[in-house]
Amino acid sequence: MMKTLAIATIAGMAASASGQLTLNLVNQIDLLDTQDPASASFIGSNPSAVGWDGTNMYVAGWNNGRGNGVDHGLVGIANAASSDVLGAAFGQIATPNFRGYNSVDVQNGRVLTGYDGGSPNPQGLAIYNGATGALEDSRNERVAFANFDPSNGGDAAWSVFGSGRLRVVDQTNLAGPTTWDGTNGPVIFAGSTIQRGQDTDDSGNITLNDANGNLTYFPRTGANSTGSSVTLVSSLATGNGNNNAILNTGFGDFVMYNDRGGNTYGSSIAAVDTAGNAISLTINGVDLSTATSTGWWDFDYDSATGTLAAVEFSTRQAFVFQVVPAPASAALLGLGGLAAARRRR
């Protein structure tokens, strides 16, 4: 039987919290088949990134020493709030050891991916048809992270290692001329140009993990501009797989993030608001004492449904949570049906 545990934020960040969040488990999906080369759902060694539109989930893979040149790709889970059926893998790229997909984003059934193979790749920035897995468009790049950008009409935006500015290109012509580039794109620099995690919210605001262990919030002031940055968290244990997601909820804006220094589910995930105040988390339906050797998570939030998708690298599990304000219960917010619909384990 799963336990219900409450967690505060990671040690050293648990100063007086300005609020609370509750994550109620809706569904848990076992991704073990995705690391089996004999499976049609094989995406590689480990799940590294997740995209979520409130209905369909897309999980991408990372080569954790499987062998140089082994194909790594993505898999979709349709109706992931109630189903654990894995689709056929797509977007496969012959991937060097310890490289792979860093990011996945979904917009109107199209899946935008950011891939880092250590050098530019023809599918480094790519858009796939979410229903069929077909490649729709791509750009030869080495991509740190990619998101659809509401501040530029939903066009594709991506960051590049070594640059503190965001690039933007027409989502219908990824190989075409950039709208904004390394000379005039939105500033996403707060002390390091090595990006470790990145998200863009419904208003175009950006959060960024960097190699210095900082999680920084950049409020958007225009299509190619950001305002004064806010350091949300500092001194995180850093490495590949430091990720975050902005949660634009009806009761406030929050940022979920993970710390690579955590060795259990509960010690590796936390939340703050966009002013940097620590938020107390209660996570229902998941055993937070479950061990994870790396603390690598990725998250994606859908504001229309108020749901958060998450994947954990080492245990190869994916989750869908309903996000509610504590101490409100799922029943009080009319979420009993969703909770009841989740697959029993």
Q: What is the pLDDT of residue 343?
A: 37
**Which positions ≥6 away from 256 have C-beta within 8 Å?**
244, 245, 247, 269, 270, 271, 299, 301, 308, 310
Could you report the per-residue pLDDT of 142-177, keeping only the tens digit for each?
999 999 999 999 999 999 999 999 999 999 999 999
Evaluate if residue 273 carries a pLDDT over 90: yes
In the predicted structure, residue 305 carries a pLDDT above the cut 50:
yes
For residue 19, the model assigns a pLDDT of 79
Mean pLDDT for all residues in the chain: 91
Q: Contact 50/301 with Cβ under 8 angstroms? A: no
pTM, two decimal places: 0.91
Q: Each residue of 45-79: pLDDT tens digit?
A: 999 999 999 999 999 999 999 999 999 999 999 99
Query: pLDDT tens digits for 78-113?
Result: 999 999 999 999 999 999 999 999 999 999 999 999
Ordered structural domains, the chain, with CATH: 5-341 (2.120.10.30)
